[in-house]
Amino acid sequence: MSILVAYASKHGATEGIAERIGERLRAAGLEVEVRPARAVRDLAAYDAFVVGSAVYMFHWMKEAARFLRRNQAVLAEQPVWLFSSGPLGTEAEDPQGHDLLAVSAPKEIAELEEAVIARGHRVFFGAFHRGKPSGFGERMVAIMPAARATFPEGDFRDWDDIGNWAESIAHELSED
């Protein structure tokens, strides 16, 4: 079985998640290719798909959403899982008790899940490092004290959680 793990990543954190998913699927004996969504042209060689995107301002990156919409007919006929990366920090709940991973889901995810008949969607914590800001929002985070408190710097990806999710996909595929 050949699986494509396609992703959209701005600074590399989501790419790292995609690579980890690919590693775990390979370890389960599956043939896996990990590629940026913008670089994928032909889906004919794949039997299943895992597609992910970084989330900015509660939206998937355009290239990932475009990938799903453009390939909707093919993807709806194959097993598909989606993942998002973006929330920062280590707390799963905010002070009011809201599930941060659930409220961090991108606004269009329900539409995308339905379009490709996804078997599931997961939100993973991301990573943020103050380097050279690449857009207006990132420049504001870099200079505003309140934004610095809201957007903590660091790598918050939970590698065990990511690996366990990938293993659950491998297990589900083995049962098909």
Tell me the average pLDDT of the chain.
84
Task: Please report the pLDDT score of residue 81 as a whole number.
Answer: 98
Structural domain boundaries enclosing 100: 2-175
Label residue 45 by pLDDT band (50, 70, 90): very high
Q: Is the pLDDT of residue 171 over 80?
A: yes
Total domains in the fold of the chain: 1
At residue 31, does pLDDT exceed 60?
yes
**For residues 70 and 145, which has the higher predicted lDDT (pLDDT)?**
70
**CA gap 45, 60 in Å, rounded:** 25
CB distance 128 to 88 below 8 Å: yes
Confidence of residue 152 (pLDDT cuts 50, 70, 90): low
Is residue 147 predicted with pLDDT exceeding 50? Answer: no
| Cα atoms found within 13 Å of the Cα of residue 9, Cβ hemisphere only | 22
d(CA 25, CA 32): 7
Check which CATH number belongs to the domain holding 69 and give it. Answer: 3.40.50.360
64 φ, ψ to 5°?
-75, -45
Q: How far, in Å, CA of 151 to CA of 23, rounded?
A: 29
CA-CA distances (angstroms) from residue 135 to 11, 55, 165? Answer: 12, 14, 32
Q: If we measure between CA atoms, which residue out of 42, 37, 39, 41 comes closest to residue 8?
A: 37
Residue with more model confidence, 132 or 68? 68
Asked if residues 75 and 116 have their Cβ atoms less than 8 Å apart, the reply is yes
What is this structure's pTM?
Answer: 0.83
Q: Give residue 156's pLDDT.
A: 80
Can you read off the two tokens belonging to residue 158?
A: 């939970």
Higher pLDDT pick, 85 / 100: 85
